[in-house]
Every structure is written in C-alpha cells, then in structure tokens.
C-alpha cells in the first residue's frame, strides 16, 4: 500500500502478489455486475463499482501471474473548512 498527495489530489495504491488478471479481465473488471465466478458459484450480483466520475478514479494494472495494483485517486480535503461544515 502506498499513498501520495500532489496538488489537489491524493492517490492510494494497493498491490497484491496474487494470480493477476488477463487483459480481458482487466477491461471488464469495472463493468457493473461482472464476476469471474462460474454460474453455479454466483451467490450475489457481482461487484458494482463506479469508475471515472468528476472526483474519483479507480484503475488497475495487472498481468497474469504478477498480481494486480489498484490506484484510487480522490480530491484532497480542503483543510480551510471548519469541522462540521
């Protein structure tokens, strides 16, 4: 896990050493209700993830056999606001 703060954004990176994702899996990963489980294993509707709105961005870099690294970029907090505002 790594964090960075640059200008008005912060970035959180989370990496693992798992089996990784194929390019096809990476491309479909943020599709609503996408799941890699076999049909008979599905217990839910899959993951619903929003990617690339005005203030959020989630991306993944991965290759089969090399794990995955997810990057989440968010706007930095405005420290000039008083608590509770």
pLDDT digits (tens, 9 = 90+) for 11-57: 999 999 999 999 988 888 888 777 766 544 444 444 444 444 444 58
Whether pLDDT at 82 is above 80: no
pLDDT digits (tens, 9 = 90+) for 19-30: 999 998 888 888
Phi first, then psi, for residue 17 (nearest 5°) are -115, 30
Whether pLDDT at 79 is above 80: no
**Confidence (pLDDT) at 28:** 85
pTM of the model: 0.63
Domain ranges of the chain: 2-36+46-75
Question: Domain 2-36+46-75, what architecture?
Answer: 2-Layer Sandwich (3.30)
Q: Smallest Cα–Cα separation from 10: which of 56, 79, 53?
A: 56
Q: Smallest Cα–Cα separation from 18: which of 76, 57, 62, 82?
A: 62
């Amino acid at each position: 896990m790594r964090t960075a703060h640059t200008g008005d954004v912060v970035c959180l990176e989370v990496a693992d050493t798992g089996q990784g994702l194929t390019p096809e899996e990476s491309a479909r990963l943020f599709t609503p209700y996408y799941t890699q489980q076999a049909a008979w294993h599905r217990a839910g509707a899959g993951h619903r993830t929003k990617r690339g709105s005005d203030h959020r961005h989630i991306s993944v870099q991965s290759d089969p056999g090399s794990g995955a690294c997810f990057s989440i970029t968010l706007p930095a907090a405005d420290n000039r606001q008083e608590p509770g505002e």
